[in-house]
Copies of this chain bind each other. A is one copy, B any other.
Amino acid sequence: MGSLDASLVCDLPPFEHMARQDIAALLERARSIRVEKGAAVFGQDEAAHSFFLLLDGHVRVVRVTPDGEQVIARYISSGELMGIAQALGRSTYPASAIAAVDCVVLAWPGAMWTEVVSRYPGFASNTYKTVGSRLQDAQDRIVEMATERVEQRVANAVLKLAAQTGRRTEEGILIDLPISRQDISEMTGTTLHTVSRLMSAWEAAGWVKSGRQRIVVVEGHKLMLLAGGAK
């Protein structure tokens, strides 16, 4: 990893509170891997051979049920750790990570985990914060699924993606990754039919624009009102 300078990554959350030379030492032991759009960084139920940092791109974390149904657990953005099974006390990956666009990831051997967290307490506590906020997100989503109407859930999913990946354009906030109506349905536990019906209605009202694998949020405040439960 001689080509990657510590100064380029020291602002990323996992490396905050770490000394520059410690970051450099960690980077030296990482492999840099290009992952093509659609390929898996790691697979559900595989032995957790490595842990990863997403340097560039977006990754979809997907779980498949025994019946073959697919649920999108979350999207990972650049600068986030992933595949940190060791931090969860697991020896296998609980889900698959699929590149939503062409990605660059850093990979460390899973066997390094214990040494890394004990040697760099700052890295450890940032990791556990990440796990904590993912637990919080998961609990939020359970509450959403238990109590909210379908249209609230779909509005929330679109707003979350816009907040996480949005890029300001002339039309509005573009969700900056290829996203289909099927993806939204797998994020919200809703049928494709329902997502299509809602998106069409929002498009007709001028709140969003959408195309193939493309969503632009035009009137975010309308979606926010809807997500908050306004009828």
Contacts and interface: CB of A to CB of B under 8 A. Distances in A.
* Interface residue range, chain A: 35 or more
Contact of A88 (B65, B71, B87, B132): B132
Contacts of A90: 132, 136
Interface in A19-77: 63, 65-67, 69, 71, 73
Interface in A198-228: 228
A182 interface: no
Of residues A87, A142, A189, which shows the largest number of chain B Cβ atoms within 10 Å of its Cβ? A142
Interface stretch (A4-12, A104-112, A121-129, A164-172): A121-129
Contacts of A2: none
Given A89-B125, A94-B139, A138-B139, A65 B147 contact: yes
Contacts of A139: 63, 73, 94-95, 138
B143 A142 contact: no
A135 interface: yes
A194 interface: no
Contact of A65 (B136, B138, B143): B143
A71 B189 contact: no
Given A90-B132, A145-B145, A147-B189, A118 B118 contact: no
A131 B86 CA distance: 12
Contact of A189 (B128, B138, B146, B188): B146
Interface of A: 63, 65-67, 69, 71, 73, 87-90, 94-95, 118, 121, 125, 128-129, 131-136, 138-139, 141-143, 145-147, 186, 188-189, 228-229
Given A65-B143, A138-B138, A145-B146, 9 more contacts: A67-B147, A67-B229, A69-B146, A89-B129, A94-B136, A118-B121, A128-B131, A135-B135, A145-B189
